Copies of this chain bind each other. A is one copy, B any other.
């Protein structure tokens, strides 16, 4: 399947990054407790505006202001589920695109049931690892928490099916990331193994994807560009890092300084 996927050139994603920074989308993040701070800092380093509003009533109100909404079920509770549902409903009414990060779906009942329910509510994008995308596509996952047991390309077919069935975009991340609408598929290479040693790089990617999904134009190209931006920053950061601590610091700096306009890569 992978031979059908397209490469993403700097000429394609550089102007999209430029627009993102200039428009500074307001991204409403309903995400897990562990990664809220890092997620906000990643968005700020890309010149976006993060906002974490979590009360059900306020979250519904806030969907009227926000450019995009992220739902990440990493530390789901029954109460948060209600607030997330209220926000999704309001976002749909306001026409605000929303992105689903189905953390560890398949392994745990509450979130699996909730994610299945959300699937029918027109997410603009779904971003997960191979286990999560396979679980969402109701294939056996054998997932062990948040770690992926499958390579991204093994889940690619499931992603394409999911995208077609729910008329959404699906991003499967791993050593290679894939972004697909069920017909077209972009393959994004790059990144660094150190990204798996800093908590929240995947969750932050979902927030960035949510932000990029709010830009006008080809949404699949936009969210694939989000993946490419993060992969590039990861490569740059890894080159100057001694370990996960300095990597996280350098990663935020790289998002801030990333300059891709004149590259031919």
Contact = CB atoms under 8 A, between A and B. Distances in A.
Given A26-B145, A110-B58, A252-B244, A33 B52 contact: yes
Nearest to A40: B199
Q: How many copies does the complex hold?
A: 3
Contacts of A74: 52
Interface in A66-124: 66, 74-78, 104, 107-111
A145 B65 contact: yes
A203 to B, nearest CB: 11
Contacts of A146: 49, 51
B34 A40 contact: yes
B256 A197 contact: yes
A257 B242 contact: yes
A34 B146 CA distance: 21
Interface string A246-265: 10111111111100000000
A190 interface: no
A184 B26 CA distance: 37
Contact of A108 (B58, B77, B111, B251): B58
Interface in A1-54: 26, 32-38, 40-41, 44-45, 47, 49-54
A248 B250 contact: no
A192 to B, nearest CB: 13
B52 A197 contact: no
A41 B200 CA distance: 9
Interface string A215-245: 0000000000000000000000000011111
Contacts of A165: none
Contact of A61 (B78, B108, B198, B200): B108
Nearest to A242: B253
Contact of A45 (B55, B62, B244): B244
30 contacts: A26-B147, A33-B36, A33-B52, A34-B52, A37-B37, A37-B199, A41-B198, A44-B196, A44-B199, A45-B197, A51-B145, A52-B74, A52-B75, A55-B76, A58-B76, A58-B111, A61-B108, A62-B107, A62-B145, A65-B107, A242-B257, A243-B252, A243-B253, A244-B255, A244-B256, A245-B250, A245-B253, A245-B256, A246-B250, A246-B253
